[in-house]
Copies of this chain bind each other. A is one copy, B any other.
Amino acid sequence: MAGSTFGQLFSVTNFGESHGPAIGCVIDGCPPGLALSVEDIQPDLDRRRPGTSRHVTQRQEADQVEILSGVFEGKTTGTPIALLIRNQDQRSADYGNIAVQFRPGHADYTYWHKYGVRDYRGGGRSSARLTAPMVAAGAVAKKWLNEKFGVEFFGCMTALGNIDIPFQDWDYVHQNPFFAANKDIVPALEEYMDGLRREGDSVGARLMVGATNVPVGLGAPLFDKLDADIAYAMMGVNAVKGVEMGDGFDVVQQRGSQHGDEMPPSGFKSNHAGGVLGGISTGQPVVVHVAIKPTSSIRIPRESMDVHGNAATVETFGRHDPCVGIRATPILEAMLALVLMDHVLLNRAQNADVRVTTPVLHLDSGT
């Protein structure tokens, strides 16, 4: 395929650019009979929306979604669901001074080399704004998965720069702009971000995302592995540079006698695996960790060149997130939901029997 469609059987075709007339997607393969309205989709879009705190880009977008097709009398019909979001606050003028310069660490350089085209308007197709339609599509998947199997999604930021964010309670995630599952650390995070903004710099972040009540048996033993598809989905989100399943890079130092999750008849005793063994879901919670790099659009001057090959000093003003990780939690949840949804449909085709049977025990390694 040509690179704008995600998923095989629950497939989402994404379109639009950051500063074009509109963005959106077409969801093909949604089963018929799901009650669906804008109210099911808008809340996740609102969680991802820019301009909601001083710590994210100040671009004002309502991100109001319109359902163009696929729903009749309040229910999905099995036909494609087209979702449309009109762009509203495209101040392209802001980008005038970087129209011909390449920002170090930014996609503008590679896009230009590939296509021979320079869409200088806020990153064009490479903008993180294109995750909005995925969040909308993910909301549809989440609803279906929840109604059918009780799947619940969770996600939070676990580190911002060099500040680790210890887990306290999922309830806190919705009570601060950082998606931190910790209320005591919020003032430190705010102070840190305020400092960054003053310096005109940016920083990375670490996030955790996962799901519970995932049916056992999703995935395949060779390719179409559930964890491989999750890695593909996560690494495909803007700025992600690392993906871990379960214990991730900690496994390097682990012994087999320590890593393999024991499973007496009473249930798994731990979840080092992160819910996937041999590419197939165990029924335990799926747990993923993700590393997000610092934004490349910063005010601090950087050495670069322009499209003519001349030396250039790049200073990026305009409206940018100083830490793209802050708004990334709903995006990662949506991508995970899309992967799980696709695999449930694949599993139906392959085995026609999707069950939630395994006692669900551990969100993490249990140690």
Chain B: CB-nearest residue to A310: B265
Chain B residues contacting A117 (CB-CB under 8 Å) are: 32-33, 72, 75, 77-78
Flag if B302 contacts A32 (CB, 8 Å). no
Nearest opposing residue in chain B for A297, CB measure? B256
Cross-chain contact A352 with B351 (CB below 8 angstroms): no
Which B residues touch A259, using CB under 8 A? 105, 204, 293-294, 296
Contact with B along A277-295 (1 / 0, CB 8 A): 1111111000000011111
A209 interface contact, C-beta 8 A:
no
Stoichiometry (number of copies): 4
Q: Please name the residue on chain B nearest to A83 by beta carbon.
A: B15
A231 within 8 A of B: yes
Q: How far is the CB of A64 from chain B (nearest CB, A)?
A: 15
- The reply to whether the CB of A181 lies closer than 8 angstroms to some CB of chain B is no
**A232, CB-defined interface residue at 8 Å:** yes
Q: Which of A114, A204, A305 has the most CB of B within 10 A?
A: A114
Q: Which of A292-340 contact B (CB under 8 A)?
A: 292-298, 300, 302-305, 309-311
> Given the complex, which residues of B lie within 8 Å of A245, measured CB to CB?
235, 241-242
Among the listed B81, B233, B305, which residue makes an inter-chain contact with A263, where contact means beta carbons less than 8 Å apart? B305
How far is the CB of A164 from the nearest CB of chain B, in Å? 10
A13 within 8 A of B: yes
Give every chain B residue within 8 A of A8 (Cβ-Cβ). Answer: 1-2
Interface residues of A in 81-109 (CB under 8 A from B): 81-82, 84, 102-109
Q: Does A43 contact B (CB under 8 A)?
A: no
On whether the beta carbons of B32 and A26 are closer than 8 Å, the reply is no
A24 in the interface, Cβ–Cβ < 8 Å? yes
**One of A48-56, A119-127, A168-176, A182-190 at the interface:** A119-127
Given contacts A105-B260, A229-B232, 10 further A-B contacts (CB under 8 A): A2-B8, A3-B29, A20-B72, A79-B124, A107-B280, A110-B281, A228-B235, A241-B249, A241-B251, A265-B305
Can you give 16 A-B contacts (C-beta < 8 A)?
A4-B26, A4-B223, A5-B5, A13-B13, A16-B69, A17-B69, A17-B70, A21-B68, A22-B82, A24-B68, A32-B351, A110-B276, A206-B249, A259-B296, A260-B296, A264-B304
- Top 8 nearest A-B pairs (CB, nearest first) are A107-B278, A105-B260, A2-B29, A3-B224, A202-B256, A110-B280, A3-B220, A104-B260
